A and B are shown apart, each in its own frame.
Chain A
Amino acid sequence: MFNLIIVVAIVLILAIGYTIFRVTTLVGIAKGDTQKRVTGANKVQAALCVVFLVAGLFGFFYYSFGGLDDSFIQPIASEHGVETDKWFWITMGVTCFVFILTQILLFGFSFKYQYKEGNQAKFYPHNDKLEIVWTAIPAVVLAILVISGWKIWVDITGPAPEESEVIEVYGYQYAFAFRYPGADKQLGDYDYRKIDPINNNQVGIDYSDKAALDDFMGRELHVPKGKPVHLKIRARDVIHSVYQPNFRLQMNAVPGLPTRFWFVPTKTTAEMRAETGNPDFNYELVCNKICGKAHFSMKAIIVVDEPEDYEKWYNEQEALLKQNPGLMAQVPDNLREVAIISADLENNDSNQGVANSESENSSL
């Protein structure tokens, strides 16, 4: 019944609209508008151009300065972010100036030079000087913007400092995994064929590499404040993107093509909570490349610690090998001894389990 009423209402509205249309058309014919080259509507359009210009600019300024409840700028928390934001706002100043000026001219001229009976337009086909000027000015301004952008870009994408904390970020449908190099500060090799979700080897650590034995996984991405962090980025299945708005950080995670990004976090999570006044604030790592059904919920938490807290946390972590003794099966014989030491397996109650799972695997 309700649907029927809606349909009837729509039909009525359309019928009314059509009638109004027919009436105005006929009135127009009666008034002889169709014979005139330019009707009174021309003035109305010209006036609307100005109305649009004024209302539009008012809306733009009102919304940009204070009309908005939420602050739309994510607080910066990285060193390079300060630089990129500075140039973002310089570019914003330049472009807004050009934008406002040209829109005023566009709609202002439209209004001012509207058709008037007896007026003649100015025959003005070209002015070489003018054209050279307005080719040169944008060229120079753009050159300045590009060169400054390029300098920042080179710094950001340049080699990471020696003392960087190296962490592997690994994207897969629909989560991120983080691998830390462990005590030896060296990430071990990987091989996608070694991925073993049952034994929790999510990132395909290759245990035939000695450096891999003490690697540990983080549920969250912990990074130290004030130290360069070098993210080594990989993906398992499709392209993902490692994006964090506060750090102004983004790099795609590509299957088969390791990528990287390094940055220096400048505010701990706690400091950020104080700054934003939000006790629940967390740095969120966002997937920003369409990756499938649950793309919109693919995230991870980043925790920025004071360096000493970070060290403490780092040293408390258990190697993946220790947590998942089943993985011992992947360790070649000649490295088993080393593995027991570097993954700290000797004080592990589940040593028994190692043997068990080994025999299980061999029976498979």
Chain B
Amino acid sequence: MSVTDIQLQENTAHDDHHDDHHEQSFIEKYIFSTDHKTIAKQFLITGIFWAIIGGAFSVIFRLQLGFPDMTLEWLKPILGKWIDEGGKLDQEFYLALVTMHGTIMVFFVLTAGLSGTFSNFLIPLQIGARDMASGFMNMLSYWFFFLSSVIMFISLFLETGPAAGGWTIYPPLSALPQAIQGSAGGMTLWLVSMVFFIASTLLGGINYITTVINMRTEGMSFSRLPLTIWAFFITAVIGLLSFPVLFSAALLLVFDRSLGTSFYLSEIFIGGEALPNIGGSPILYQHLFWFLGHPEVYIVLLPALGITSEIISTNSRKPIFGYRAMIGSMLAIAFLSFIVWAHHMFVSGLNPFLGSIFMFLTLIIAVPSAVKAFNYITTLWKGNIVFTPAMLFSIGLVSFFISGGVTGIFLGNSALDINLHDTYFVVAHFHLVMGSASFFGLLAGVYHWFPKMFGRMMDEKLGYIHFWVTFVGVYLVFFPLHYIGIAGFPRRYYAFTNFDAFSAFTDLNTFVSVAAILTFGAQFIFIFNFFYSMFRGRKAPANPWRSNTLEWTTPRNPGHGNWPGAIPKVYRWPYDYSKPGAEEDFIPQHIPLSQTPESNLEEENELAKTEEVRESKNVEDSH
């Protein structure tokens, strides 16, 4: 029954597509587009824009940390009064830079840039759908994100500066402009911007979930979904359940800031006067924030892991090892991600008993993460590995995921966290496991799906150079931070000169800064490659990576509606690589089992007997 419905829908969509194909104006096609592929590109390019800003911010504060005596006079044309007469970076602006670097990277680059790009681009293409369930909501999702971006961007230019209380914006610091300038207008714009951002994420998430559940093509059961789609699906569910909590946290903060309520404020004496607020709790904010904040880690990480699963399998020419275990571990991670949040708060004044509980829950989450890492490594074992730039970035991701993941075992242990909390050890940990790993997932995805996005290939050699400089660079930046962290250096410090205990490591800090600048510089190789290849790259073949998933059955430049003819039917899982007996080392999902008797497994031969092969002439043509 449902199959017929979908068929009908497809046919209408198909007809529509031919009708209005040539009537789309420039604005409809490229700006207010409802096509998931265009929206994905919009997210990607906005994400790249933000990544440059976020990265540049980190370079500026690394200059301060690595070269504390350097004059930054030459930055005056850009930063203006934030460089004081002595040529030094303003101390408060340093905090603003740190705050905005975190906010931009976590939300605007790794949430919107990653999920927004690849969930939008790949979900319809890989499940065999014409578009998202609601193209209009999808468009709104991008434009809410755009609005949120504009507001956040404006906040950078305020006289009192952007928000400066850390990306976690803990009150009372974020609630009181008397405590820090950035909590004046900058914080207001931060909160407004985040409200639109959350709306954007929810609109996107609802769409991703609905599309995956309802619009899979015939034969595409959940057990045949590519792991990318599983990852995007689970990510969207996590986002849908956790972002509203951030919204409530932000709303209560708005009330405290503007309406005189006392949700987070209590017994504060500041600026020579005792504030009237009594009875609130700053810890309440931390609970609400981290109820999003921890799942957020997986919101940025899971899509990257999904992308990696697909790329590693394709380029090892092997099925992903433990497909079901991969799904199981993602589900476990998704569930556990909601009940570990208080491990960010072991020394916040939390009841130690709660600390104990959250320590146990936190270390459980390491198990499914370990399983994923082992599965990636086993997928490489006895493969026939083709090192495309996407593959290298995926291998790099796994390397970061392990290096950053193991340090989580220290931090999740509340007894050890006492001494490590808020030191550079934490900075090293999350920049590797969540920052760099997800960022590599994003880059891997761009290199891998660029041919489908723009119909052209990116330059491989530039990709290799970009990978090695970035990969080595990231390790040189973040690995030394572990040592600095074990020595107890606190994060978010403008300088370490005031403490004898932190007088060491000046050379190491300089080294880290140089590595950070080089790594940032290397990203311009990518940016050149990206925009150059978009227009001048080699034309992409239909299936450049010899991959199994459905997106490679579309034309080189798929139009609105993705497939010119009927949507292909799916007969097998997406990982039939190097199947014994098969002629080629891959069998795409739309090839019926009955056409491949030579490579079928026993149970597949049984299935092949009852299989109803749909005439799909168009698909063959376009393939």
Q: A72-B484, A142-B363, A290-B166 are in contact. Are A99 and B416 (CB under 8 A)?
A: no
- The residues of A that contact B577 with a CB separation of less than 8 Å are 121, 123
Closest Cβ–Cβ distance, residue A52 to chain B (whole Å): 7
Contact A250 to B498, CB < 8 A, known contacts A74-B488, A91-B410, A237-B268 = no
Q: Which of B265, B471, B484, B499 contacts A286 (CB 8 A)?
A: B499
For B546, what are the chain A residues with a Cβ–Cβ distance below 8 Å? Answer: 37
The answer to whether A255 and B266 touch (CB under 8 A), given A95-B409, A99-B406, is: yes
**Bound complex: CA of A180 vs CA of B546, how far in Å?**
74
**A109 with B371: CB separation less than 8 A:** no
- Interface presence of A62 (CB below 8 A): no
Question: Does B580 sit within 8 A of A, measured CB to CB?
Answer: yes
Tally A-B pairs: CB < 8 A: 345
Number of residues in B with C-beta < 8 Å to the partner?
119
Complex Cα gap A110–B472 (Å) = 17
Q: Are A250 and B347 in contact (CB under 8 A)?
A: yes
Contact of A280 among B179, B280, B423, B500 (CB under 8 A): B500
Contacts of A138 in B (CB 8 A): 366-367, 370-371
Of B267, B381, B395, B422, the contact of A256 (CB 8 Å cutoff):
B267
B442 contacts chain A at the CB level, 8 A cutoff: no
Q: Which partner residue on chain A sits nearest B575 by CB separation?
A: A125
- The answer on a CB contact under 8 Å between B487 and A74 is yes
Measured in the bound complex, the distance between the Cα atoms of B402 and A191 in whole Å is: 49
Q: Is A249 an interface residue (CB 8 A)?
A: yes
In the bound complex, do residue B415 and residue A292 qualify as a contact, i.e. CB atoms below 8 Å apart? no
Interface of chain B residues 264 through 297 with chain A (CB within 8 A): 265-270, 272, 274, 278-283
What is the bound-complex CA distance between A292 and B472, given in angstroms? 34
* Complex interface: stretch among A151-159, A328-336, A351-359: A151-159
Cα distance, A117 to B184, chains bound together (Å): 64
A161 in the interface (beta carbon within 8 A): no
- Give A84's nearest chain B residue, CB to CB: B415
| A31 close to chain B: CB less than 8 A | no
Residues of A within 8 A of B585 (CB): 120-121
Q: Is B123 an interface residue (CB 8 A)?
A: no
Interface 1/0s, chain B 358-375, versus A by CB < 8 A?
A: 011001101100110111
Contact, CB under 8 Å: A250 / B173: no
Residues of B within 8 A of A107 (CB): 395, 399
A46 touches B387 (CB 8 A): yes
Chain A residues with CB under 8 A of B505: 70, 72
- Complexed CA–CA distance, A292 and B172 (Å): 11
1/0 contact string of B312-331 vs chain A (CB within 8 Å): 00001111111111000000
Give per-residue flags for B465-483: 1 if the beta carbon is below 8 A from chain A beta carbons, else 0: 0001001100100011001
Please judge, given known A-B contacts A25-B459, A252-B347, whether A153 and B356 are in contact too, CB under 8 Å. Answer: yes
CA–CA, A252 to B422, complex, Å? 11
Identity of the chain B residue whose Cβ is nearest the Cβ of A85 in the assembled complex: B419
- A residues near B166, Cβ cutoff 8 Å: 290
Q: Say yes or no: is B562 at the interface (Cβ < 8 Å to chain A).
A: no
Q: From residue B310, how far is it (CB to closest CB) to chain A in Å?
A: 15
**What per-residue 1/0 map shows which CB atoms of A260-283 lie under 8 Å from chain B?**
000000000000000000101110
**How many angstroms from the CA of A118 to the CA of B92 in the assembled complex?**
61
Task: Check if A103 sits within 8 Å of B402, measured CB to CB.
Answer: yes
Minimal beta-carbon separation of B88 from chain A (angstroms): 13
Q: Does A61 sit at the interface, judged by CB under 8 A? A: no
Contact A296-B359, Cβ < 8 Å, known A113-B380, A113-B381, A290-B165: no
Check A238–B415 contact: CB distance below 8 A: no
Q: Within the complex, what minimum Cβ distance (angstroms) separates A20 from chain B?
A: 10
Given the interface pairs A145-B409, A153-B355, A290-B173, the reply to whether A106 lies near B402 with Cβ below 8 Å is: yes
Contact with B along A238-254 (1 / 0, CB 8 A): 11010101101111101
- Picked from A46, A99, A239, A249, the residue with its CB within 8 Å of the CB of B403 is A99
User: Whole-angstrom distance from the CB of A15 to the nearest CB of chain B?
Assistant: 13
Q: For A104, give the chain B residue with the smallest CB separation.
A: B377
Q: Does A362 contact B (CB under 8 A)?
A: no
Bound complex: CA of A256 vs CA of B92, how far in Å?
25
Q: CA–CA, A308 to B18, complex, Å? A: 93
Report the bound CA distance from A292 to B460 in whole Å: 46
Are A106 and B380 within 8 A (Cβ)? yes
- B21 CB-CB contact with A under 8 Å: no
* CB-based contact A72/B387 at 8 Å: no
B496 at the interface (CB under 8 A from A): yes
Complex CA–CA separation, A145 to B460 (angstroms): 44
A114, A135, A154, A157: the one within 8 Å of B371 (CB): A135
- B264 CB to nearest A CB, Å: 9
Residues of A within 8 A of B180 (CB): 292-293
Tell whether, in the assembled complex, residue A106 and residue B377 are in contact, meaning their CB atoms are under 8 Å apart. Answer: yes
Q: Could you tell me if A106 and B179 are in contact, using CB atoms closer than 8 angstroms?
A: no
B residues within 8 A CB of A74?
487-488, 501
User: Shortest beta-carbon distance, B317 to chain A, in Å?
Assistant: 4
Q: Is A227 in contact with chain B by the CB < 8 A criterion?
A: no
Contact B321 A124 (CB under 8 A): yes
How far, in Å, is A126 (CB) from chain B's closest CB? 5
Nearest Cβ in chain A — how far from B339, in angstroms? 15
Q: Which residues of B contact A114 (CB under 8 A)?
A: 385, 387
Of A37, A39, A116, A150, which is within 8 A of B415 by CB? A150
Contacts of B407 in A (CB 8 A): 95
Residue of B nearest to A286 (CB): B490
B462 CB to nearest chain A CB (Å): 7
Say whether B422 contacts A288, CB under 8 Å: yes
| B179 pairs with A173, CB closer than 8 A | yes
- CB atoms of B359 and A150 under 8 A apart: yes
Chain B residue at minimal CB-CB distance from A287: B490
B274 touches A256 (CB 8 A): no
> For residue A119, which residues in chain B have a CB less than 8 angstroms away from its CB?
384
B597 interface contact, C-beta 8 A: no
Q: Inside 8 A of B414's CB, which chain A residues have their CB?
A: 149-150, 153
Contact, CB under 8 Å: A293 / B487: no
Q: Which residues of A contact B578 (CB under 8 A)?
A: 120-123
Asked if residues A288 and B176 are in contact (CB atoms below 8 Å), the reply is no
Pair B409/A139 contact, Cβ less than 8 Å: no
Tell yes or no: A341 within 8 A of B by CB: no
With contacts A52-B471, A286-B490 known, is A297 near B366, CB below 8 A?
no
Contact in complex: A250, B385 (CB < 8 Å) = no
| A157–B418 CA distance with the chains assembled, in angstroms | 11
Residue in A120, A121, A239 whose Cβ sees the most chain B Cβ within 10 Å: A121
Q: How many Å from the CB of A97 to the closest CB on chain B?
A: 10
> Which residues of B sit under 8 angstroms from A292, Cβ to Cβ?
92, 95, 173, 179-180
CA distance A115 to B383 in the complex (A): 8
**Shortest distance from the beta carbon of B598 to any chain A beta carbon, whole Å:** 13
7 closest cross-chain pairs (CB), A and B? A256-B266, A245-B488, A157-B352, A45-B387, A70-B504, A122-B382, A95-B406
Pairs A–B under 8 Å by Cβ, sample size 9: A34-B538, A46-B385, A120-B384, A153-B355, A158-B352, A254-B282, A254-B283, A254-B348, A282-B500
Extra pairs beyond A72-B484, A107-B399, A157-B355 (11, CB < 8 Å): A21-B459, A37-B546, A106-B380, A115-B387, A120-B317, A121-B317, A135-B371, A158-B352, A238-B176, A254-B282, A256-B281
